[in-house]
Amino acid sequence: MSVSATSASAIPTPRPARRIAVGSPEFKRTNRAMFFGGFSTFALLYCVQPLMPLLSHEFGLSAAQSSVVLSISTAALALTLVASSAISERFGRKPLMVGGMAIAALMTLLCAFAHNYPQLLVMRALLGVALGGMPAIAMAYLGEEIEPESLGLSMGLYISGSAFGGMVGRVMTSVLSDHFSWRLALGLVGVAGLYAAFEFWRSLPVSRHFTPTREGWRTLPSGFKLHLSDAGLPWLFALAFLLMGAFVSMYNYIAYRLLAEPFALNQSVVGAVSFMYLLGIYSSVWAGRLADRYGRRHVLWVMSLIMFSGLLLTLSNWLPLIVVGVAVFTYGFFATHSVASSWVGRRATSNKALASALYLFFYYLGSSVIGSATGVMWGHSAWPGVVAVLACALALAVVVALRLRTLAPVGQAER
């Protein structure tokens, strides 16, 4: 045997990097970063939601017209998700996520200086474009880096950050706009977003299971075909459209109802309804653990039914029961979204970033389409009209979730 052959045989074969396991320092850092990422996305995107009645008054807008300040951001985000996933395949996950968070925070700061409603809409649209670089890529990162047995928990923690961000953004803008102005409120939310971007950059570990490729754009057609021909993914995409559309509509128009007679609450009290998001922080992690233990197909339909029951409670004219209804509705939404989004990451066998992008495309498209449509119903039939639209959406969501119970798994990692 030659010396060179002996030397070659002595060189150990590099072991593939292990995925991040629960309890490890990398797992804690990842979840800390993703908590800040979810916080920033929801806080920046939905901080204008409780301001819609104020914008209606200041700019002379109807409820449906005022809802565009949110719908234009979610529509822009939806339309840029796929492009962002393709770009991330070449340049990496972390740089695009950090850049998107920072730019979105700067756009929120600029919103505070808008001279008129069209200018505000332009800034909000650019914010949506910037945030296209966050949600789908975050889901893809977790799917690549976290061990499969802990993915449900990690995704639940990411979504709990979203819940916390949605709550803080709404409460902060409600209280500050009530005592100072909506412009100051948006400015401070923008500053908080910049800090979240810094913490995200500082905490998130570098990808160890990501391989850059120049084929991102050219593989899109085959990726679309692969995911849309799957037996389960299109149903999960439809579920995202229905659930998020219903959730955004609830928080879009419950403020109009509670500010009007017979309740006539002030802006700060109405904004306090957003403390219900705290339930989402718990329910998303709880549902993720249940899904890891019992299987997503056995948990998803129950969570959807919880959300539907909460909606029906809001038909009451008794304020405490309305609050309970919103609480149950919110609890069910974050639990359902946690289970469905982690299922996408587990079911997609390749091009996970595109699968996550498609899920979130329909998620934010539902926010824009159903969110605006229910504004029209509010103008015609007030709250009963809003509930009628959302009841139809959630009834379909329960049917879809029941349909997914019979879905055959693609491998041992998916349940």
Instruction: Give the dihedral of Cα atoms 201, 215, 79, 139; nearest 10 deg.
Output: -40
Q: How far apart are CA 23 and CA 150, in angstroms?
A: 10
* Percent above pLDDT 70 for the chain: 92
Across 78-171, the runs of DSSP E, i.e. the strands, are none
State pLDDT tens for residues 304-359.
999 999 999 999 999 999 999 999 999 999 889 888 888 887 787 777 777 878 88
For the record, the structure tokens of 83 come out as 């492009």
Degrees to nearest 5, angle at CA 268 with 76 and 120: 30
CA atoms within 13 A on the CB side of 388: 11
**pLDDT by residue (tens digit) across 135-184?**
778 877 887 888 877 777 777 777 777 777 878 888 888 888 888 888 99
Q: Structural domain boundaries of the chain?
A: 24-205+220-404
Higher pLDDT, 234 or 407: 234
Highest mean pLDDT among 23-37, 138-152, 262-276: 23-37
Cα distance from N-terminal residue to C-terminal residue, the chain:
51
Is the model's pLDDT at 245 over the cut of 90?
yes
Residues near 243 by Cβ (< 8 Å), separated by ≥ 6? 304, 307, 333, 336, 337, 340, 363, 366, 394, 397
Spatial CA neighbour of 326 closest among 258, 374, 267: 258
Helix 117-131 vs helix 68-91: crossing angle, to nearest 10:
30
CA distance 227 to 304: 23
Q: What's the CATH fold of domain 24-205+220-404? A: Growth Hormone; Chain: A; (1.20.1250)
Token duo for residue 152: 């449900």
Tokens found for residue 128: 């949506």
> pTM to 2 decimals?
0.73
Candidate from 14-18, 203-207, 293-297, 309-313 with smallest mean pLDDT: 14-18
Interhelix angle for 52-59 vs 68-91, to 10°? 120
The set of residues, in sequence order, having a beta carbon less than 8 Å from that of 228 and lying 6+ positions away, is 234, 358
How many other CB atoms sit within 10 Å of the CB of residue 289?
15
Q: Are 82 and 178 in contact (CB under 8 A)?
A: no
* CB 124, CB 72: distance < 8 Å: yes
Read off the pLDDT of residues 14-23 as tens digits, 9 standing for 90 and up: 445 677 777 7
pLDDT band at 214 (very low <50, low <70, confident <90, very high): low
Token digits for 332? 């069910």
At 234, is the pLDDT very low, low, confident or very high (cuts 50, 70, 90)?
A: very high
